[in-house]
Every structure is written in structure tokens, then in C-alpha cells.
Structure 1
Amino acid sequence: MEVTKKKFGEYKSEPVYLYTIENDQKTRVSVLSYAATWQNFEVNENGINHSLITHFNNLDDYIKTPYQVGKTVGRVAGRIGNASFKLDNEIYELPPNDGDNLIHGGNNGFQNANFSSEIVGDKVVLFHKFLSSDDKFPGDLELKVTYSLSPENEVKISYSATSTAKTLFNPTCHVYFNVTDNEDVFGQEVQINSDAILKVDANKVPTGKILPVTNGYNFKKFKTIAKALDDLKSENGKLEFDDTYVTDGNSVATIKSNKRTVDFSSDRNGLVIFTANPTDPQKADNREYNSVAMEMQTLPDAINHEKFGNIILPKNKSVTYTNSYKYRQIN
């Protein structure tokens, strides 16, 4: 296993570093200190390198593109309804950044920081302290994000945090996958181990209801994105997926083409999928999708819905969550 480091650019007069972990099979995982971003996931098949995730080769695109490509997002991934929550009988009102709601922790979330970073053995470890005075969540939060790559081509991203006060913690990696050889993602097959999705309102905020999957949302067996979108349009007229599946953690989902697969696993209970084209807004408007976001996390807005899971981080206690992504070549 080899880990290298080089400068990628500058953010707010600070250097941004690019780290690359490479195993003996020439599988490479690249990470930026900016937003603890998963910059690339590159595999070598019969001497040819192939990228599995949407990525940019310059820092400016990561900064200006609104799709949070590959970034670590939080403190709380997804939306918090009305940008408010109750904790120990105190109501916290946060500055909304998505209409009346909060998304991905707000404008001072994880995705807007340049992390301190270092190589520890064959892992990349990134650190940052997020102040309550900046993001308005209770407590100053110390975050550590660790990226690793196994000899068996499994990427693990671990999120560890402690806080000076009881607070919320539900991060994820906002990574977009396309494991086909095509620019579009319509031929990618998806399977999700879930029987239920969250019902959301017109602003995509969960209502608290959990619904059984209907045909338009059913990925219990492998289905291409093209077929899934056809089923969705026939069922309710929708033209994209931006939905949360309720999972039991562990084995969450698999995506594949005729050449390769990626298996997803997690220790939390939600998977958000989002069909998108982060690299071309005009194609995105035309529903010409080139990737699917696969965000493993506790269910969005969990603090406001009792049965959605626990995202409370107690004062001075440490918690760690881990998401895993395992690549396999189909011979």
C-alpha cells in the first residue's frame, strides 16, 4: 500500500492537499483536505484505469459547483425541517439555507472547511473543529474523518466526533457513482435492500411517515436506472430520484455494470439516492443524468421524528460511524 501527498490548490489562503492511496491491484482512492472530499475512486482493469465516481481535477470546480461533489457534509446530512430542533427542552433555531429549512448543516457545514490532514500508516486522516458560534449548533465539535483502502478494494470512510455540549451528528459523503463505461448512467443497475422509503413534503422534508416501496421505487431486485426512471414516470410523473430508503445497515445496496460492481454497507439506517449531472447543469435540466448520488446516513430530519434513529451526540462522548464501498471486477 502506498500513500502520496501533493498540493491541489488554495482555499482562503490555505493550501489544499490531495492524498492518494494505492494498493497492489493499482486501485486508487484520492482525498482532498478541502471538505474532506472523496476526489476519485480509480480502478485498473486489464491495464486500463477507470474512474467510478464523479470528480473534478481542479479545486475551483469543487468550490463553485453546488452539488457537493464527493464532499463530507454535516453536521447533519440532509434537511432539518424549519431549520429547528428541540434538545433537552431547548429549541434551537438555525439559519436556514434551503428555503425555510436547513440542508447539510448550513452554510458553515463540513463541506465548507479545509481540514488539517495527515498520513497515518496507510490511511488518510483529516481533522477540523467546528465552532458553535459559526454554525449555531450546540457545542464545539471536533471531527476526524478517516479514509482507508483494503487490499481487497474496499474503501472505508469513518467519521468520529466529540462535542463540548450535547449536539447532533449525522455526516455522510456526498459521492456520485457511475460504474458503466458510458457518459450517462442509464445503463447502471441498482439493487437496494429496502422495503420502505420516507414520505416527504413539497420541499423534500420528511413528514415522519414511512411508506412501503411501490413499483416506481422498488429496487429490491436489480434494475437499470433507465427502467427505474420509466417506472417512476409511469407511476407518478416524476423525472428524477431524490429519495431516502430505509435500510437495516450492514449490506445496504449494490450497483453494477457488465464489468464491475460496488457493494455499499453502513452502520446506519438510511440511503439517499439522487439522479444528477453535477458536471453539466444544462444536461441536468434535460434529465441527462451522468451519475447517482449514494449517501449512507441516519434518516434525514431524525431529530424531529422519533422513529427515524438517534443522531444525538452526548457531551464529551465520542461516536464513530463508518460507510464502506467495495469494488469487484466481473470477469
Structure 2
Amino acid sequence: MKITKEQFGTYQNGPVYLYKIENKHKTQLNVLSYAATWQDFKVVENGITHSLISHFDNLDDYIKTPYQVGKTVGRVAGRIGHASFKLDDKNYHLPANDGSNLIHGGDNGFQSVNFSGSVIKDEVILSHKFLSADDNFPGDLELKITYSLSEENEVKISYTATSTAKTLFNPTCHVYFNVTDNEDVFGQDVKINSNSILEVDSNKVPTGKILPVTKGYEFKEFKTIAKALDDLKSDNGKLEFDDTFVTDGNSVATIKSNKRAVDFSSDRNGLVIFTANPNDPKKADKREYNSLAMEMQTLPDAINHVGFGNIVLPANESVTYTNSYKYRQIN
């Protein structure tokens, strides 16, 4: 395994580093210290390099984008309704940053900092201490994010945290995939191991209800995004996916083209998918999507709904979550 490090830019007067991990197949995993960002995922097929995820080649675009491209988001990924929750009979109210709700841990979340980086064996480890005074969550949180690439072309991202007080912890990587050879993502096949989705209100906050999938959300068998969007429009009139699937077990989903596939697995119970074009918001407005976000996490707003999963991190205890993304070539 080969790992290199170079400066990618400057953020808040500090250097942002780009780490590149390359295996024997020339598969490359690129990671930024800024926002612990998954910057690129490159594979080589018959001497031709293909990028499988949406990315930018300069830091300024990562800082400016509202799409959180490739960034680690948290303390809590997704929305917390009314920016409030209760722990041990104490009510916490955080500064809302999505209408009256909180999204991705707030404006001082994981996606807002430049992490300290190190290389240990064949892994890139990014760490940062998040203070309660900075983001209003209870407890100072020590976070360590570990990126690795195996010789079998599997990317693993592990999130390990310890807090000085009981708090919430539900991070993910906000990565967007397109494994086709096209600029648009409509020909990408998607399969999701799920029979149910979360019902949400008009602000995309979960209501607490888990609903069986209808035709528009049926991905138990492979379906192209184009077909899925047609089914969705026929089903309920919607023109984009921004939805959470309830998953069960380690095998979460697969996306593929006629040449390559990526298998997704996680130790948590939710998958958020989002059709987008983070490289060109004007095209996104026209529903010209170039990628699909695949965010594996515990179900959003879990702290406010029974049965959504446990995102409570006890004081002075450590927890680790791991998401995996395995590339394979289709002959």
C-alpha cells in the first residue's frame, strides 16, 4: 500500500492536506483533512482511470458548496426536529440552521473544521476535539475518523468518539456516487435492501412513522435511476429522491453500471439517498442529476422517535461505527 501527503490549500490560516492511498490495483482513495472529506475514489480498468464519486479539484469549491460534497457531517447527520432533544430529563435547544430545525449538527459541525491528520500503517487517521461551547451539544467530543483501502478494493470509514458528558453521535460521509461512464446518473442501477422508508413532513423532518415502500421507493431488485424517478413521479408526483430507507443487516445496497459496481455495508440502520448535481446547481434545478448521495447512518432524528435506533453516547465511553464501500469490476 502506498500513501502520499500533499498540501491542498489553506483553511482558517492552517494547511489543508490531501492524503492519497493507493493499492496494488492502482485503486486510489483520496482524503482531505478539511471536513475529513472523501475527495476521490479512482479505479483503473484496462488502463483507463475512472472516478466513482463527485469531487472538486480545489479547496474553495469544497468550502463554498452547500451540498457537503464528500464531507463528514455530524455530530448528528440529517435533521433534528425543532433543533431540540431531551437527555436525562433535560431539554437541549440548539441554534437552528435549517428553518426551525437543525441539520448535520449545526453550522459548527464536523463539516466545518480542518482535522489533524496522521498516517498509521496503511490508514489515514483524522482527529479533532469538538467543544460543547462550540456547537452547543452536551460534552466535549474527541473524534477520530479512520480511512482505509484494502487490496480487495474496499474503502472503510470508521468513526470513533468519546465525550465528557452524555451526548448524541450519528455521523456519516456525505458522498455522491456515479459509477457510469456518463455525465448524468440516470443509467446507474440501484438496489437497496429495504422494505420501508421514513415518513417526513414538509420540512423533511421525520414524523416518527415508518412506511412500507410503494412503487416509487421499491429497490429490492435493480432499477435504473431513470426508471426509479419515473416510478416516483407516477407514485406521488415527486421529481427527486431525498429519502431515508430503513435497512436491516450489514448488506445495505449496491449501485452498478454494466462495467462496475459498489457494494455498501454498515453497522447502522439507515440509508439516505439524494439525487443531485453538486457540480452544477443550475442543472440540479432542471433535474439534470449527475450523482446519487448514499449516506449510511442511524435513522435521522432518532433521539426524538422510539424505535429509530440509539445515537446516545454515554459519558466517558467510546463507540465506533463503520461504513464500507467495496468496488468490483464487472466483466
Q: Aligned partners of 2:323 and 2:41: how far apart in 1?
A: 15
Instruction: Tell me the distance in 1 between the aligned counterparts of 2:97 and 2:216.
Output: 30
The answer for the alignment partner of 2:216 in structure 1 is 216
Is 2:295 aligned against 1:320?
Answer: no
Instruction: State the partner residue of 1:52.
Output: 52
Secondary structure of the equivalent of 1:309?
coil
Which amino acid in the other structure matches residue 46 of structure 1? N
Which residue matches 1:78? 78
SS in 1 for 2:219: coil
Partner of 2:144: 144
Superposition deviation, residue 193 in structure 1: 0.1
Identity of aligned residues (%): 81
Shift, 1:248, TM fit:
1.0
3-state SS in 2 of match to 1:308: coil
Structure 1 CA distance for aligned equivalents of residues 146 and 88 of structure 2? 31
Task: Give deviations 1:232-283, integer Å, cap 9, x for gaps.
Answer: 0011110000000000130000000000000000000000000000010110
Q: Which residue of 1 aligns with 2:255?
A: 255
TM-score when normalising by structure 1: 1.00
How many Å apart are 1:157 and its aligned residue?
0.1
Secondary structure of 2:271 counterpart = strand
Corresponding residue number in structure 1 for 2:164: 164
Q: Which residue of 2 aligns with 1:117?
A: 117
> How is 1:1-331 mapped onto 2 (pairs within 5 angstroms)?
1-331=1-331
Instruction: For 1:106, give the aligned amino acid.
Output: G
The Cα offsets for residues 206-231 of structure 1, whole Å up to 9 and x where unpaired, read as 00000000001100100000000000
Separation (CA, whole Å) in 1 of partners of 2:211 and 2:237: 18
Unaligned runs of 5+ residues in structure 2 are: none
Amino acid at match of 1:74: G
**Helix, strand or coil at the partner of 1:307:** coil
Alpha-carbon distance between aligned partners in 1 of 2:212 and 2:257, rounded to the nearest angstrom: 27
**CA distance, structure 1, for counterparts of residue 255 and residue 9 of structure 2:** 32
Other structure's SS at 2:198 match: strand
Q: Matched residues in 2 for 1:154 and 1:107: separation?
A: 31
SS in 2 for 1:310: coil
Amino acid at match of 1:61: D
Amino acid in the other structure paired with 1:326: K
What SS class does the counterpart of residue 16 from structure 1 fall into? strand
- What displacement does 1:48 show? 0.6
Deviations 1:72-127, CA, capped at 9 Å, x for gaps: 00000000000000000000000000000000000000000000001111110000
Is 1:249–1:270's contact at 8 Å kept on the other side of the alignment?
A: no
